[in-house]
Amino acid sequence: MMDFDINEIISRYLEGNASAAEKQQLLDWLEENEGNKKLFNEMKDIYFVSGSVSSSDKYNDRHNWFKEKSKIGKSKARKLQGALKYAAILVFAMLIGSVITQFAESFLEGDVELTRVEIPNGQMSKLTLFDGTEVWLNSGSVFEYPNQFNTKERKVYLQGEAFFDVAKNEKLPFVIESDKMHVKVLGTSFNFSSYENDDFANLTLIEGNVNLLTPGGQLLTRLVPGEKADLKDGKISIKKVDTSFYSLWKEGKIEFTSVPLGEIAKKLERWYNVSIEFHDKDLEKIKFSGTVLKHKPVEQIIKAIRLLSPIDYRVTFNPNGKNEIEIFAKQ
């Protein structure tokens, strides 16, 4: 294919005017070699920096973004330090006292380019999407978003925990898909947790209104500010809460009120990138109340829990891997 032809096709693709045949030509051309992908990314970056981003109604639904992701046009993962190359999306470090390391990967899914951001354990990040929505991502989270929203909805995917401050747009709902449940809002702020290895999901609404849906699209419930919804074993429960507890992690602290040690251990594993093992499963059910400060060493936090609970612990330091913490009954 001649250079002037592919340049015209790329331009029409970025403007949302490419035909189905031209899109297929583009995908075939991208698969030919890495140089073609580099050229495409350079043209895309120039296009987005110019501030002209068009909408497309060709954004296809995906029931599972991680398991059925297209391999076409997949580019090599690249490390982000500071901001993404194009000005439409900004990524800021939230980790106190160190520089965040995170990985983003861009790839084509049908007609839309998606970016996948992975936050390693022990780190946090903040993203501002091009519609003005702010997203704080907690440790161990994976977040996917398109380079442009369609004319019907603003759809993203989350595996993990995030605090959303969604830019209001009554004509364009903001939809978050996760493996356990979906969230649909117009403009609001809330905390949403749905980790892959957790057997539950929960959402705490700070302001606005939220619809919670099954992955199949059926309405589960509607929330009003000050409510927290917990989904476990297919059953959903709603209760009034102090919402400040569920956004404190953005500031590097978490406050627990009668939370089982097993659940606390999972959070500590993500925050500090350690492995915690209970010798007795009954110890996981012991409830603890207190405040955890992320800038404190994990061993100091375990010591504080030991003072208030019938547990003891042992730490094994692994210079080439995760440190291991064993929890057992206090003698």
Write down the pLDDT at residue 174: 95
Question: Where is the domain boundary, 210, 228, 244?
Answer: 244
Domain count, the chain: 3
Q: Say if residue 293 is in the same domain as residue 205.
A: no
Q: Say if residue 256 is in the same domain as residue 240.
A: no
Write down the pLDDT at residue 93: 32
Q: Say if residue 84 is in the same domain as residue 217.
A: yes
- pLDDT (tens digit per residue) in 285-323: 999 888 877 778 888 889 888 888 899 999 998 887 889
Q: Are β-strands 324-329 and 275-278 bridged in parallel, bridged antiparallel, or unpaired?
A: parallel
Domain that holds residue 301: 252-329
Q: Are the CB atoms for 157 and 176 separated by under 8 Å?
A: yes
Q: Say if residue 264 is in the same domain as residue 238.
A: no
Least confident piece of the model among 40-49, 129-138, 165-174, 188-197: 40-49
Cα separation values, 313 from 91, 261, 307, 319, Å: 38, 13, 11, 19
**What is the Cα 38 distance to its own chain's centre?**
27
- CA atoms of 21 and 7, how far apart (whole Å): 15
Whether the predicted pLDDT of 56 surpasses 70: no
- pLDDT (tens digit per residue) in 88-106: 333 333 333 333 344 445 4
Write down the pLDDT at residue 186: 85
Q: Say if residue 181 is in the same domain as residue 205.
A: yes
Whether the predicted pLDDT of 133 surpasses 80: yes
**In this structure, what CATH number is given to the domain that contains residue 316?**
3.55.50.30
- pLDDT (tens digit per residue) in 272-285: 889 999 999 999 99
Which residues, 6+ apart, have CB-to-CB distance to 54 below 8 Å?
A: 14, 15, 16, 148
Q: Say if residue 160 is in the same domain as residue 306.
A: no
Tokens of 195: 């980790």
Q: Say if residue 93 is in the same domain as residue 231.
A: yes
Is position 15 within any domain?
Answer: yes
- CA atoms of 267 and 328, how far apart (whole Å): 18
Is position 25 within any domain?
Answer: yes
Q: Say if residue 208 is in the same domain as residue 116.
A: yes
The phi and psi torsions of 179 (rounded to 5 degrees) equal: -65, -30
Smallest CA-to-CA distance from 120 within 136, 107, 137, 145 is with 137
Least confident piece of the model among 19-33, 97-111, 169-183: 97-111
Q: Say if residue 89 is in the same domain as residue 210.
A: yes
Neighbours of 265 (CB within 10 A): 21
Is position 64 within any domain?
Answer: no
Q: Say if residue 235 is in the same domain as residue 271.
A: no
